[in-house]
Structure 1
Amino acid sequence: MPRPRCYVASPLGFSETTRPWYNDVLLPALAELVEPVDPWSLTTEDEVAEAHAAGRDREIALEIGRRNIEAIRSSSLLIAQLDGQEADSGTVAELGYAAGLGLRCFGIRSDFREAGEAGVPLNLQVVSFVEASGGVIAPSLDALLVHLRAELAD
């Protein structure tokens, strides 16, 4: 049985301190259960640098967004990394878009700080999108993998 395509929404590719966990831990763990769709691999650093040098910053930004839209639309699941005082706005936008399309959405929030209304770990709308899609926000990668295994076993 083919593994479902799963878009991995996160800000982790922006920073050299978080890229290793994303590339060496998160993606391989997910690959055991799903076909991860890595938005960070859809555009090269050279493409961005060339566009910037040519004064085409807006064009490359919109192209990156278009590629991400296509990748989300080609997936059946989305996993969002939701740590931080506030969850990353681009990640949240991708999650909301995916939920609106009817994809099952999951989140990882290992950050123990509350960043939302009372009773929810972060913004109530983000939690509502995830739960309305049939997914959950897990407190760790291990807990997320447990939920994914159960989801895929059904």
Structure 2
Amino acid sequence: MARPRCYVASPAGFSETTRGWYADVFLPALAGVVDPVDPWALTSAEEIAAAAAAGRQRAMALEIGRRNAEAIRGCRLLVAHLDGQEADSGTVAELGFAAGLGLRCYGVRSDLRQAGEDGVALNLQVEAFVALSGGAILPSTPDLVARLRADAVA
């Protein structure tokens, strides 16, 4: 049986300190149970540089958003990396979009800091969208992978 396509929402590609973990740990872990769709692979650095050189930064930003939205539409699941004092706004937007489309959404939040109301891992609305989609927010990558397996998404 084919593994379901799963959009991976994460700010990890922005930072030198998290790119390696994302590429070498997170994506391979997910690949054991889903077919990860990596939005960081949908646009090249060369495209972004060319757009900047031509003064087309806004147009390129909107094109990246369009590509990401299309990728989400082509998936059955979404996994969101939700660490940080506040979860990344773009990641949360992708999660909300996916939940609105009816995709099952999962999150991983290994951050020790509380970032939301009592009783939830982070913002109550984010937690509600994940729960209403049939997914869950888990405290680690191994827990996320185990939950994906248990939910028979693979």
Shared fold per TM-score greater than 0.5: yes
The equivalent of 1:127 in structure 2 is 127
Give the match's secondary structure for 1:18: helix
* TM-score relative to the length of structure 1: 0.98
**Gap runs ≥5 in structure 2:** none
CA deviations 1:69-104 (Å, max 9, x no partner) are 000000000000000000000000000000000000
Give the match's secondary structure for 1:55: coil
The equivalent of 1:92 in structure 2 is 92
The equivalent of 1:137 in structure 2 is 137
CA–CA distance in structure 2, aligned partners of residues 125 and 37 of structure 1 = 25
**Equivalent residues in 2 for 1:1-150, closer than 5 Å:** 1-150=1-150
- Whether the 8 Å contact between 1:6 and 1:75 is mirrored in structure 2 is yes
Q: Percent identity of the aligned residues?
A: 69
CA deviations 1:112-146 (Å, max 9, x no partner) are 11111111121000000000000000000010011
Give the match's secondary structure for 2:151: helix
Give the match's secondary structure for 1:43: coil
* TM-score relative to the length of structure 2: 0.98
- Whether the 8 Å contact between 1:113 and 1:121 is mirrored in structure 2 is no
CA–CA distance in structure 2, aligned partners of residues 42 and 153 of structure 1 = 24
Give the match's secondary structure for 2:17: coil
CA–CA distance in structure 2, aligned partners of residues 151 and 49 of structure 1 = 41
Say which structure, 1 or 2, has more relative contact order (CA 8 Å, 6+ apart): 2
CA–CA distance in structure 2, aligned partners of residues 6 and 119 of structure 1 = 27
RMSD (Å) for aligned C-alpha atoms: 1.0
